[in-house]
A and B are shown apart, each in its own frame.
Chain A
């Protein structure tokens, strides 16, 4: 199987940037990271379909193995729609989060902090 090197390099760059942004604490950057990562994976699926060819509309003059593989394109189309829905939902969530706390960050879980602080007091000795 031969692959397109430009496609692979672009995919690598998109994925690297996406993963870097994912590790940020700011929600907007996390979202951008997810979008880049999603697009990188779409390119990966495209690359996995093999070399480009004519559209797979049957033409008696073109031998079967010349056509582009249509299945990865169908998969990518579905993946794009799903990523679109995710992006829209996350944008809504980020806006709501900002509207509530005026901060574009993942907040600390208050209950986690409480459990950590009250560890000794919560021992079994009292009510055994």
Chain B
């Protein structure tokens, strides 16, 4: 089955070809949708096969263009990267279908929105490339591909609000990329290589001071992308303004690519130069400051953006512990958080569509108006807060267990910090449920007239769009789409919520897999041998036959 892993470059090339195809077909909305969904589905199937091929262990390196390592571009499929690829593709596919149903319902056959599909596919390609990258510069290229696509998606339509948020986001992202590039230049100056397996051998031979400088530079660059405190202020500022599907996919994937890079830095590049205490302090500050911000918000999208940054702290906690148990829990938590945070943003997109706003001052009665939405919100919200038996609880339990086993006073402080963060998360998400779903709309500070009308009907199955249709004098009468939930959007959200629940049901095998992946991360020899092992026979190792289709990336 190891030949499957040698098809890894297809996961990058296919979305790029798809992007080109959808760009050419920008006047044909239906063709665009079919191509986009087909491409992401094929990539997901391929990545699932790759995951199956490394389920029990092992790593495969693909040498692009047949160049021998450490000179050529290498892609590495191991347990950690395969898992991240599959989860990211599941989320991408769900969000893509969600966005497609939304677009189909709104009927946007022309206009700037047709750029959505090419940009989205390029984002998928960038994420795959970052997860597969076996050398630092290719990781940088992967980051740039996904960031450039994200600039376009974030400023879609070019409204004043999005341009304002986009400007901050673009400048911050470019600064972090330039920092990363500087680090790469200095690492190349110090070691003469950018191949990560080669670096794992050569960085350890450098003087301790040089190692710490290079390590800190990489952590700063990745810390901005992962949005850890104090480098996280850009995120709650920029994410909420984007369209709902875009925010959902950003929240799920972009910060996690940063976390992935931090994990690789800690385990593969600098296994001896630990900086663990620094990471633990950062994790504590990220959790507590983020969640305090979330509690203060009245807009649900902003609240969720703050919980997003806050929960990055949990992953950094697992990484900072540095033990196998900590890493295993962190990997499980990353998977859980990608799925749950994305589902929540998708649900908020539905709420906004149904009720006309995501501001809690304007919402109410949603449990009566849209009971299905209440269920769809409630499950991932409790999951995020870590209520048993959901996967959030299992992930946090694993982290607490690893911290207790660590035993230091700093680890215990983080256990307390994590508990407080979980409780405050529960407060934040329950407040949304109380105010948005439970209370009558008439008690809201400035209720949306649409919800008031729905409440006035006082029927058991209130259909708000009928209310709108019946009252042509309302301000919504010119919008046929308002308060209607396309079934595709609801199904996708439901499917992703179900995946979140499945993470609980299949927690046993998944935690076992995460544990094996963490074991492989703490023993990087296997990774190094997979890349450098074929050094003596450079012509045929991994799949040089697939090399020609992606060799021209540099």
Chain A: residues with CB nearer than 8 A to chain B? 1, 22, 27, 30, 34, 37-38, 41, 44-45, 47-49, 71-72, 74-75, 77-79, 82, 85-86, 89-90, 93-94, 96-97, 100-101, 106-107, 109, 111-112, 115, 118-119, 122, 124, 127
Chain B: residues with CB nearer than 8 A to chain A? 71, 137, 141, 144, 148, 151-152, 155, 158, 160, 163-168, 170-171, 174-175, 177-178, 181-182, 184-186, 188-189, 194, 237, 240, 296-299, 302, 431, 434-435, 439, 443, 554
Closest 5 CB pairs of A and B: A48-B189, A45-B185, A44-B185, A107-B164, A100-B160
From A49, A85, A106, A107, residue with most partner B Cβ within 10 Å:
A107
Q: A48-B189, A72-B188, A96-B163 are in contact. Are A115 and B178 (CB under 8 A)?
A: no
Which residues of A sit under 8 angstroms from B170, Cβ to Cβ? 86, 89-90, 93
| A63 CB, nearest partner CB in chain B, Å | 18
Residue of B nearest to A94 (CB): B167
Q: Which of B164, B171, B177 contacts A30 (CB 8 A)?
A: B171
Q: Are A41 and B185 in contact (CB-based, < 8 A)?
A: yes
Which residues of B sit under 8 angstroms from A72, Cβ to Cβ? 185, 188
| B548 CB, nearest partner CB in chain A, Å | 18
Q: A45-B188, A89-B148, A97-B167 are in contact. Are A78 and B141 (CB under 8 A)?
A: yes
Q: Which of A93, A101, A119 contacts B166 (CB 8 A)?
A: A93
Q: A1-B189, A86-B174 are in contact. Are A97 and B137 (CB under 8 A)?
A: no
Residue of A nearest to B175 (CB): A22
Which residues of A sit under 8 angstroms from B165, Cβ to Cβ? 109
Q: A106-B168, A107-B164 are in contact. Are A127 and B175 (CB under 8 A)?
A: no
Q: Are A106 and B167 in contact (CB-based, < 8 A)?
A: yes
Q: Which of A34, A79, A111, A118 contacts B171 (CB 8 A)?
A: A34
Q: Are A74 and B298 in contact (CB-based, < 8 A)?
A: no
Given A89-B151, A96-B155, 18 more pairs with CB closer than 8 A: A30-B171, A34-B178, A41-B181, A41-B185, A44-B186, A47-B189, A72-B188, A75-B184, A75-B185, A78-B137, A86-B170, A93-B151, A93-B170, A94-B167, A97-B164, A111-B299, A115-B298, A122-B298
From A85, A89, A96, A111, residue with most partner B Cβ within 10 Å:
A111
From B174, B177, B554, residue with most partner A Cβ within 10 Å:
B174
Query: What are 24 sample pairs from A and B whose C-beta atoms fall under 8 A apart?
Result: A1-B189, A34-B175, A34-B178, A37-B178, A41-B185, A44-B185, A45-B185, A47-B189, A75-B188, A75-B194, A78-B554, A82-B148, A85-B148, A89-B148, A89-B151, A89-B152, A96-B155, A96-B163, A97-B163, A97-B164, A106-B167, A107-B164, A111-B299, A115-B296
Which residues of B sit under 8 angstroms from A119, Cβ to Cβ? 296
Which residues of A sit under 8 angstroms from B302, Cβ to Cβ? 111
Residue of A nearest to B434 (CB): A127
In the bound assembly, the distance between CA atoms of A100 and B435 in angstroms comes to 35
From B137, B166, B181, B299, residue with most partner A Cβ within 10 Å:
B181
Which residues of A sit under 8 angstroms from B174, Cβ to Cβ? 34, 86, 90
| B340 CB, nearest partner CB in chain A, Å | 24
In the bound assembly, the distance between CA atoms of A44 and B178 in angstroms comes to 12
Secondary structure call for the A interface: helix
Q: Are A75 and B554 in contact (CB-based, < 8 A)?
A: yes
Which residues of A sit under 8 angstroms from B151, Cβ to Cβ? 89, 93
Which residues of B sit under 8 angstroms from A118, Cβ to Cβ? 298
In the bound assembly, the distance between CA atoms of A82 and B148 in angstroms comes to 9
In the bound assembly, the distance between CA atoms of A90 and B167 in angstroms comes to 8
Which residues of A sit under 8 angstroms from B240, Cβ to Cβ? 111
Q: Are A109 and B167 in contact (CB-based, < 8 A)?
A: no
Q: Are B296 and A122 in contact (CB-based, < 8 A)?
A: yes
Q: Are A115 and B184 in contact (CB-based, < 8 A)?
A: no
Q: Are B163 and A74 in contact (CB-based, < 8 A)?
A: no
From B168, B175, B178, residue with most partner A Cβ within 10 Å:
B178
From B160, B185, B189, B297, residue with most partner A Cβ within 10 Å:
B185
